[in-house]
Amino acid sequence: MNYHEQKAKYAYELFKKGLPFKKVYAVVEKDGKYVVLRNDNPNKKAKYQFSLSGGGVDEGEDNVTAIKREIKEELNMNVEVVRSLGNVHYSKTWSYQGKEFDIEYISEIFLTRFVSYSDNKNFGLPGEFEHGVCIEEISKEELLENVFEFKDGGIKF
């Protein structure tokens, strides 16, 4: 089962239990800039070119532990959590074993600060990112104008 099939299965299990899909994302401040993911895949046009790094909260994991793990996995960085910026609520349609379903997402957004690079040599987990995703450092103005959570999601910075 590939990465996306595993996510679909996990979403379906949550859906059957009536539970939301809990996620965490981080604004990573580093030397006066903000570290984001940039989508350069010409085959996948996204509404926003930039997105925050983050992911799902594992069973038994709190949100702070989850965001530190996700940033280490995705950006190869160790961070300190400064504060929560709030939650974004939305729903998404998934398909698993021929069944379509909508699941609610609750995503907590954190302000974090770069501490050091970790010794993880990988960018994301195998299969997590499609071709054309890379790391970029942008200004606060670019962040507020070009990242969903700030432009459309209602998060204030």
Domains of the chain, by residue range, sit at: 3-151
Strands (E), 31-98: 33-39, 50-51, 53-56, 77-96
Any residues with CB less than 8 A from the CB of 114 and at least 6 apart, and which?
28, 29, 30, 31, 35, 77, 78, 79
What was the pLDDT predicted at 11?
96
pLDDT in tens, the chain (157 residues): 888 899 999 999 999 999 999 999 999 999 999 999 988 766 666 778 899 999 999 989 999 999 999 999 888 899 999 999 999 999 999 999 999 999 999 999 999 999 998 876 666 656 566 667 888 899 999 999 999 999 999 999 8
What was the pLDDT predicted at 127?
59
What was the pLDDT predicted at 133?
81
- Own/partner contacts of 87-95, CB < 8 Å, gap of 24 or more, are 88/149, 88/153, 88/154, 88/155, 90/153, 92/21, 94/8, 94/11, 94/12, 94/15, 95/8
Third-level CATH fold of 3-151: Nucleoside Triphosphate Pyrophosphohydrolase (3.90.79)
What was the pLDDT predicted at 66?
98
